[in-house]
Amino acid sequence: DTGVSQDPRHKITKRGQNVTFRCDPISEHNRLYWYRQTLGQGPEFLTYFQNEAQLEKSRLLSDRFSAERPKGSFSTLEIQRTEQGDSAMYLCASRQEGAGELFFGEGSRLTVL
């Protein structure tokens, strides 16, 4: 078990470009979460998957953001037409069914110039 992995670890892009982040959760975990974290703040919930179904999206997630989890395995988070305010660390986490520990990836840091 290699834990939750995220790719890329760091992305620098120009305003207006599209970016996509990938998360590979722990294989037996059917719950997957995306969070956004800015400097000095705690993680803010973006969206949640149970298997391949996206069950909840935060109001923070504008129309420019889309997330998928095809086949209930890896997940992608795409940001279209990036803005400077999108600069943040994007964290992926997964857990098993039942109330339990969230396992986090190391995050994907986005810098929008």
Partner 1 sequence: AQTVTQSQPEMSVQEAETVTLSCTYDTSESDYYLFWYKQPPSRQMILVIRQEAYKQQNATENRFSVNFQKAAKSFSLKISDSQLGDAAMYFCAYFFGTTSGTYKYIFGTGTRLKVLA
56 touching partner 1, by CB under 8 A: yes
Of 113, 110, 79, residue with least CA distance to 11: 110
Question: CB under 8 A: which stretch of 15-23, 28-36, 69-77, 78-86 binds partner 1?
Answer: 28-36
CA–CA separation, 65 vs 106, rounded Å? 20
102 touching partner 1, by CB under 8 A: yes
Could you identify the residue written with the tokens 């305010």?
Answer: 85
66 touching partner 1, by CB under 8 A: no
Could you identify the residue written with the tokens 């599209």?
Answer: 18
Distance of CA 65 to the CA centre of its chain: 10
87 touching partner 1, by CB under 8 A: no
Q: In the complex, which residues of this chain contact partner 1 (CB under 8 A)?
A: 3-4, 31, 33, 35, 40-45, 48, 50, 55-56, 91, 93, 99, 101-102, 104-107
